[in-house]
Amino acid sequence: MYEQISANIWRSRILIVLFIAFFILFGYVLSYYDPILMPLAIIVAVLMTVGSFYHSDKIVLASMKARVADKAEFPHFVNSVESMALAAGLPTPKAYVIDDPSPNAFATGRDPEHALICATTGLIAMMNRQELEGVVAHEMSHIKNYDIRFMMLVAVLVGAIALMADWFWWSARLGGGRRRSSREGDQLQAILMVVALVFMILAPISAAMVQAAISRKREYLADASGAMLTRFPEGLASALQKIGSSAMPMESANKATAHLFIANPFQAGKLANWFSTHPPIEDRVQKLRAM
């Protein structure tokens, strides 16, 4: 278990370093054509980060119509959040519920002091006490490991790369960039248009694939860390099996928030698995039962 946690931490660090290097290299290359692209992308990325840091949890809750979990209505869920926070040595996160029959849950916030755990009514109704504690422990681990902040940074970088690719495309089409002689400009303009098209297609796709890879590593890490909190990996393994066997997609989820959940809230095909932010449930269950 400890080896798996250590390996996932280092893989995630390597991926995020490569991601930031790709962002810088991409901006540096584009700045040769249009010097304003890189500083503009950095400014936008900073503004996106600040906005996400302070308001992302409120936006997510509002978009999914979540409500505060009443202890009288959901005693086992609220008690599980309180007990897992105690086991993790963290402040107790706020507990929320979404009125949705599909079983799922997520954690969000900017740090352990400003975090929350949200579960669907379908998940609370489907799970027994040990399975519910396993799910809550998984989400508590996302908070303890600062995945909630880590993945926010990754999402901002993906957005900034997509914006740079889009700006580069329009700058090339509108004839922007550095001033050159007429003949040199005509030749480079044709080349840059091709480069812009390639970057516009490949850069956001590559960024999304790296984001998915980072997110999958963090899910494995949260599974292992959650099993450590409960000291009972079978609880989470059984919960994941129940979630995986449910063919009911979430009514309130959207693509922007899909990476937050313990399992993909949508039914994905084989091609979509390349960009899935969640590893296969069967593999997660196998790893948990091997602990």
Where is average pLDDT lowest: 1-10, 41-50, 75-84, 89-98? Answer: 1-10
- Residues 6 or more apart whose CB falls under 8 angstroms from that of 174 comprise none
For residue 72, give Cα distances in angstroms to 68, 76, 97.
12, 9, 13
Signed CA dihedral, 208, 213, 216, 221: sign only: negative
- pLDDT of res. 53: 72
Average pLDDT over residues 206-227: 83
Show me where the domains of the chain are located. 2-289
Where is average pLDDT lowest: 1-5, 172-176, 211-215, 267-271? Answer: 267-271
233-259, pLDDT tens digit by residue? 999 999 999 999 987 778 877 776 778
Taking CB atoms within 8 Å and a gap of at least 24, the contacts of 77-81 are: 77/119, 77/124, 77/132, 77/136, 80/129, 80/132, 80/133, 80/136, 81/117, 81/136, 81/140
Which residues, listed in sequence order, are joined to residue 107 by a DSSP beta bridge?
117
- pLDDT of res. 233: 94
User: Does the model's pTM come out above 0.75?
Assistant: yes
* Distance from C-alpha of 263 to C-alpha of 103, rounded to nearest angstrom: 9
pLDDT-derived band of residue 287, with 50, 70 and 90 as boundaries? very high
- pLDDT of res. 199: 67
161-172, pLDDT tens digit by residue? 777 777 776 766
Active centre residues (catalytic): 139
